Structure 1
Amino acid sequence: MTLPNLPDLPLTGVRIVDFSRVLAGPFCTALLSDLGADVIKIEPPGGDDYRAVGPFADGESGLFAAMNRNKRSIVIDLKTVAGRELAQTLCAGADVVVENFRPGVADKLGIGYAELGERNPALVYASVSGFGQTGPESHRPAYDIILQAMCGLMDATGSPDGPPTLIGESVSDVVSGLFASWGVLAALLSREKTGKGTHVDVSMFDATLSLSATLVARFAATGIAPQRVGNRHSSSAPFGAFRAQDGFYVVAVLNNRLFDTFAQAIGEPHLSSDPRYADDATRCVHEAALRACVEAWSAQRSVAEVNRILGAAGIPVAPIRNVQQALESDQATFRGLLTDVPRANGVASHTRRLPSQPVKFSAYDGNRVTAAPQLGEHTAEILHTFGLDAARIAGLRMQGVFGRDGAAAGSAQFAHSDALNKETDHA
C-alpha cells in the first residue's frame, strides 16, 4: 500500500532512514512522520521485535502499529555484504538516520556515523542508546525498567512506607524518543544555517534524569535525595489524591488564597485561621490531620459531586480516570488524540485507532495518520525511488539481501527471530 499524497506538513520533504526497533527510536521517528517526514523503516528478515509483542488485534501488534504509523518498510539483511551496501545507498540519499543499536554495533554493520557522515556531510544522524555513546556505562544494554531503577524514578514513586514503584508507562523509552526527535529537529535547523550535519547522541539515562526535572532541582538545591510521598505533593497541601464516597479525586491547592477558598467550599472556614494550616510549610507538616478533615467531607459525597462543588468554587479538581475514560472524553475527542485508520490490509471497513503527535500548528491541517506497514511492504517501491530497476532488485533478492524467504514481497507473515538482536540488543 503506497502512502497517500497529503498537503504540505512541517516536515514534508525530509527523508529519514530508520534502523531502530522496539520503542524509543520508533517513537522518535513516528513523531517526525506525523508531521510529514518520509520514514523508511529498515527491518531485519525477522522484523522488528515489536511485531511479535501483544496486545494483538487480528494478528497485528497494537504496540508496533502505534509506534510505526506512517512509515514505509523495507527488509534488508545487514549481515550480508550486499545488504550493507544497499543500506549505505539509502542513507546517502537521506536527511536523517536514526538507530538504537548498542554503541559500536552500527559501525560494525557499516552504517555508523563516521562512515555515513563522511559520505554525506549534511546527514543528521541520531543514536539512541541506554547510556549514550561515551562513559563507563555506555556498553550496557538497557530497558525502561533498568533506567527507572537507576535514575531515581522508582525510588521517588510510591507510598513512603511501601517499596519503590515502577511508573505505569515506559517513560524512559518514551522520553528518550521525544528528546531524540527534538535533537533531530534542532540539528536540521542548524543545518539550514551551516549546511553541515551532526551526530545526535541520546542517552536514555540522561533523558530520564532530565525528565525528572523537579526531583533534580530539589536535589541540586538541597543536596538531599527527595523521598517518596505517595499520592500527595512534597511541599504543598492539600495537593494530591483523596477518597470520596465512590472513588478518588485530586485537588491542587498551592497558595493561601486558594486554601481559604477551599476551606469555605468544604464547609470548614475555621481551617483558614488554624495555625497548623497557616501556610504551605505548616500544612505539609500537618498533612495527615488536614487530609482526615478533607476526607470526612468528601467521603459523604460522590466523586461527581465533589468535582461539581470544588470546580464551581474555582479549585483545581479532577476525577481519577483510567486511560479509556481519558481517551473517550469529550476533550480528547475534540482534540483528535486518536484517529481511526484503515488497517494495513486496505479493507476500509477494518480500522485501527492510532495516536499522533499532539502539537497543533495554525499554518497546517491535521497530522498524517496512516497504518503501520506490513513487513517489507514497500521494499520494491523504495528501491525504485532510489533508481534500482526490477532486474537489480531481483539480483539482490537472489543474494539474500531481503532474507532467505524474500520478505520483500511484503507478506504480513514472518518468523520471529532473535538472531540479529544477539548482536544488536535494544539500546
Structure 2
Amino acid sequence: MSDQVPLQGVVVADLSRILAGPYCTMLLADMGATVIKIESPDGDDTRRFAPPVHEDVATYFQSANRNKRSLVLDFAQADDLATAKAVIARADVVVENFKAGGLRRFGLDYESLAPDRPELVYASITGFGTGDGAHLAGYDLMVQALSGFMDTTGAQHGEPFRGGFALFDVLTGLHTALGILAALRHRERSGTGQLVETNLLSAALSSMVNQTQAFAAAGVVPRRMGNQHPSLYPYEPFPTADLPLVIAVGNDAQFARLCVAVGRSDLVLDPRFAAPALRNEHRDALRPEIVAALADRGAAEWFDLLTSVGVPSAPIQTIEDGIRFAERIGLEPIALAGRTLPIVRNPLTFSQTPVDYPIAPPALGEGGQELLDRMSAPAKKRNP
C-alpha cells in the first residue's frame, strides 16, 4: 500500500460479513485503511456463494473483500475473544453487522467498548434498526420487498421484480462508509468517537429518492411502470431495427433535437407534446410515433447519431459489453488486486492520493497472524 493514500494509518476491525459491511470496509481499505477481517472458523458465508468461481474462489466473496487480512476467531473461546479485544484496542474503527445486540454477550458491542475507548468510531449495520424490527433478518431481498422497491419494479401488469444485484446492501455500505468518514473527521476536531448506525430499510427508503418523496410530500403511491419514468417522457427503451435503444429525454431542447434527428420535426409543433407534463399525459400517443421513426436503423447506428446531436441514448448491453464500453472511453474499469486478480476498479479517483489494490481477497486466515505480530497483539496459536 502506497504511503500516499487518503486513510493511511487508520485501522479497521471488520466484524462484518456477507455484503453491506464488507463492501463498506473494502472501500475504506481501497483508500489505505488497514482492515482486519475477523471471521468465524467457518469463514464469511460469501466464500460459499458459488458459482461463479475464479480459481476455486467464489467471485461473490472476491467482489467485496480485497485489500484485507483475514483473522480466524471464535468469540466463544476465551483466548480468541481476548485476541479480538486486543485487535479492537488498537483499531480506530469497528464495523459490524450482527443481528442487533448479537455482540453484547461477548462485550464487543459499542456500549461495552466505549467507556474504555471514548475515541473509538463504531459502525453498526442492521437490517431494520434496533427497535421493533431488531428481530428481523437483514437480507437485501427482504428489504427490496418490504421497502416498496419491488412493487415499483417490473411490468405494469406483471409481477414485481427484484433488482439484478443486492443494491440496498451496496447502498447501505456506501452510507456507512460516508458515516465513518464523517465520524473520523469529528474525532479529529473533538478527540471523541461515536456510534454510527445504519440499517438497510432506512438506506433503501432514502435511496429511492423521488419515489419515496412522492409519497412523503404528496401522498402519491408510485406504481409499477415497467421501464417508463413517472415524470419524464420519452424516457424508456424503444425497439429499433435490431436491438432495443434507451432514449432519455430530460427537457424540451433534447426532445426537439430527437424529433429532428429521427425525421419527425413536426412532433415538436404538436401541442400535445409541447412540454414535459404534456408529453407525460400523451405518452400513449407519442410512443408509436417514435417507434415508427426508429424502425429503419439499428440501435448502434441510432446511438451514434443521437449522441452526436446531444440526445441522451444508449443501447441495452450485457455486463461484458458494459465493461468493454467503459474501456473504449478510457475509464479503465478493470484493475489488478495483489498484481494478479482482475477486479472492478473503485470508482473514486484522487488527484494526489490514488486508491490502490495491493492485496487480493484473502484466503481464510491469510495475513491475520502476520498483522497481529506487527501490532504486538496476543499471538494466535492456530490458524487454518
- TM norm structure 1: 0.86
User: What is aligned with 2:56?
Assistant: 59
3-state secondary structure, aligned to 1:176? helix
Counterpart of 1:255 (choices 243, 246, 251) is 251
Give the share of equivalent positions with the same residue, in percent.
38
Measure the CA separation in 2 of the matches of 1:220 and 1:376: 47
| 8 Å contact kept, 2:140–2:167 | yes
**CA gap 1:76/1:332 in 2 versus in 1, 3 angstroms:** farther
User: What is aligned with 2:302?
Assistant: 306
3-state secondary structure, aligned to 1:335? coil
User: What is aligned with 1:270?
Assistant: 266
**Aligned Cα root-mean-square deviation (Å):** 1.6
| 8 Å contact kept, 1:31–1:356 | no
Q: How does 1:148-297 map to 2 (within 5 A)?
A: 148-297=144-293
**CA gap 1:189/1:339 in 2 versus in 1, 3 angstroms:** same
User: What is aligned with 1:355?
Assistant: 344
- TM norm structure 2: 0.96
Measure the CA separation in 1 of the matches of 2:358 and 2:60: 15
**CA gap 1:288/1:369 in 2 versus in 1, 3 angstroms:** farther
Counterpart of 2:370 (choices 381, 399, 423) is 381
Deviations 1:140-164 (A, max 9, x none): 1121110001111101111111111
| 8 Å contact kept, 1:25–1:128 | yes
3-state secondary structure, aligned to 1:88? helix
Q: CA deviation at 1:91?
A: 0.4
Structure 2 residue 105 is the aligned partner of structure 1 residue 108: yes
Counterpart of 1:94 (choices 84, 91, 95) is 91
Counterpart of 2:125 (choices 105, 123, 128) is 128
Measure the CA separation in 2 of the matches of 1:114 and 1:303: 58
Q: How does 1:43-54 map to 2 (within 5 A)?
A: 43-54=39-50
Q: What amino acid is aligned across from residue 126 of structure 2 in structure 1?
A: S
Unaligned runs of 5+ in 2: none
3-state secondary structure, aligned to 1:178? helix
Counterpart of 2:74 (choices 47, 72, 77) is 77
Measure the CA separation in 1 of the matches of 2:324 and 2:120: 41
Structure 2 residue 114 is the aligned partner of structure 1 residue 117: yes
Q: CA deviation at 1:332?
A: 7.0
Measure the CA separation in 2 of the matches of 1:362 and 1:138: 42
Q: What amino acid is aligned across from residue 108 of structure 1 in structure 2?
A: R
User: What is aligned with 1:137?
Assistant: 133
Q: What amino acid is aligned across from residue 274 of structure 1 in structure 2?
A: D
| 8 Å contact kept, 1:147–1:205 | yes
Q: CA deviation at 1:365?
A: 3.2
**CA gap 1:332/1:15 in 2 versus in 1, 3 angstroms:** farther
User: What is aligned with 1:415?
Assistant: none
Q: What amino acid is aligned across from residue 129 of structure 2 in structure 1?
A: G
| 8 Å contact kept, 2:9–2:33 | yes
Deviations 1:177-196 (A, max 9, x none): 11110111010000001100
3-state secondary structure, aligned to 2:115? helix
Measure the CA separation in 2 of the matches of 1:169 and 1:361: 27
Q: What amino acid is aligned across from residue 73 of structure 1 in structure 2?
A: S
Measure the CA separation in 2 of the matches of 1:43 and 1:81: 16
| 8 Å contact kept, 1:327–1:333 | no
| 8 Å contact kept, 2:264–2:293 | no
Measure the CA separation in 1 of the matches of 2:359 and 2:376: 26
How many residue pairs match? The answer is 383
User: What is aligned with 1:371?
Assistant: 360
3-state secondary structure, aligned to 2:290? helix
Q: CA deviation at 1:221?
A: 2.7
Counterpart of 1:32 (choices 28, 32, 36) is 28
3-state secondary structure, aligned to 2:76? coil
Measure the CA separation in 2 of the matches of 1:180 and 1:285: 40
User: What is aligned with 2:13?
Assistant: 17
| 8 Å contact kept, 2:2–2:356 | no
3-state secondary structure, aligned to 1:327? helix
Measure the CA separation in 2 of the matches of 1:174 and 1:365: 22
